[in-house]
Amino acid sequence: MASTANASTSDKVTVLTADLVLSQWQGHRRLTRRVIEAFPEDKLFSFSVGGMRPFSELAMEFVKMAEPIVRGVATGKWAAFGSSAWPDTKAALLALWDKATEEIDAVWPTIPAHRFAEVDKAFGQWENSGIGTILYAIDNEIHHRGKEYVYLRALGIDPPAFYDRS
Amino acid sequence: MASTANASTSDKVTVLTADLVLSQWQGHRRLTRRVIEAFPEDKLFSFSVGGMRPFSELAMEFVKMAEPIVRGVATGKWAAFGSSAWPDTKAALLALWDKATEEIDAVWPTIPAHRFAEVDKAFGQWENSGIGTILYAIDNEIHHRGKEYVYLRALGIDPPAFYDRS
């Protein structure tokens, strides 16, 4: 990469600390929770465009990734992917969501500093650095949640504002 | 946030350097480019689900944000938002995309270290830290691109693999 006399040495510039990544993620998780809430109960478990999965399945994918990834990065121990209970109501899904939110906040500060850069096999399968696995989970959530904005519009429902993470 | 005797002081742990953020973003931009390419020419400029914008308009929103944000964070000077040329072919859109890719790589290493944390008004309008504005641009791209996966499926086209950022 080209550099000039005035350039920062951007390979050494810290732009995100662990706390900032957590607060960014929890902001996205609050928005995702509002998207879950915006779905009518039956549509949450059944509505599809183009043969894609209904949102309940995607939201459960997020639940199965989020807290287990934080715990795996913290401890180096990984359970098999996808062993969570399966909710069949919006309230049950939101309860799992809220439990994950609390657990992420509790486990996050116990991640040893070196584990963010250390390469590991997430769920025994996917090799990446700790931060790489965490960013994948965040990006995957944003990506799939984006689809749900189309689902909601197709249902005639205004989705929550993307920029609001409060 | 609770902390234990073994906890890292995660407010001080660097998990992302400027270079890692750039490489993460450019990986997403390569994927977005493949999504643009996957659209048939006419659908790129016209296809819509639920009354939402066609993908060419979203892709141009990314172009109007990406390089100008990097330049604004680097220099503190902001042009008005949205003054780019408007392409009317896929080839013209991809040419703008590739020009932005090169400019982002060229300008990024000139961002002074302190500008990532410094609060500024992006485009004279949106107050955020430099890294906050950059993350907004990345997340906005992932979010809107997620919608396009629904568009492509609705058109009977397999979208590019989300996990492939090569």
pLDDT of residue A1: 37
Q: What is the pLDDT of residues B45-57, one digit of tens each?
A: 999 988 888 999 9
Any domain includes B162: no
Per-residue confidence of chain A (166 residues) as pLDDT tens digits? Answer: 333 444 455 667 889 999 999 999 999 999 999 999 999 999 999 999 888 889 999 999 999 999 999 999 999 999 888 766 789 999 999 999 999 999 999 999 999 999 999 999 999 999 999 999 999 999 999 999 999 999 999 999 999 999 999 9
DSSP classification of residue B115: G
Interface confidence, given as ipTM, is: 0.92
With CB atoms and an 8 Å threshold, state whether B49 touches A116.
no
CATH value at residue A48: 1.20.120.450
Any domain includes B138: yes
Q: How would DSSP label each residue in A46-78?
A: H--STTPPPHHHHHHHHHHHHHHHHHHHHHS--
Q: Average pLDDT in the B99-104 region? A: 98
With CB atoms and an 8 Å threshold, state whether B8 touches A50.
no
pLDDT of residue B11: 66
d(CA A145, CA A160): 11
Which residues on B lie below 8 Å from A21 (Cβ)?
A: 15-16
Which residues on B lie below 8 Å from A28 (Cβ)?
A: 139
Any domain includes A12: no
d(CA B142, CA B97): 16
Share of chain B above pLDDT 70, in %: 92
Show the domain range for B74: 31-154
Q: Kindly give the residue spans of alpha helices, DSSP state H, lying in A12-166.
A: 18-38, 41-46, 55-75, 90-107, 130-154
Any domain includes B148: yes
If residue B147 lies in a helix (H) or strand (E), which one and from where to where? helix B130-154
- Per the structure, how many domains does chain B have? 1
Find, in chain A, the residue whose alpha carbon is nearest to that of B54.
Answer: A150
Q: Where residue B1 falls among pLDDT bands split at 50, 70, 90?
A: very low
Both tokens of residue A45? Answer: 């478990």
pLDDT of residue B3: 38
pLDDT of residue A52: 86
Instruction: Please report, to the nearest 10 degrees, the dihedral formed by the alpha carbons of residues B151, B28, A142, A13 taken in order.
Output: -160
Contact B8/A113 with Cβ under 8 angstroms? yes
Q: Average pLDDT in the B102-112 region? A: 97
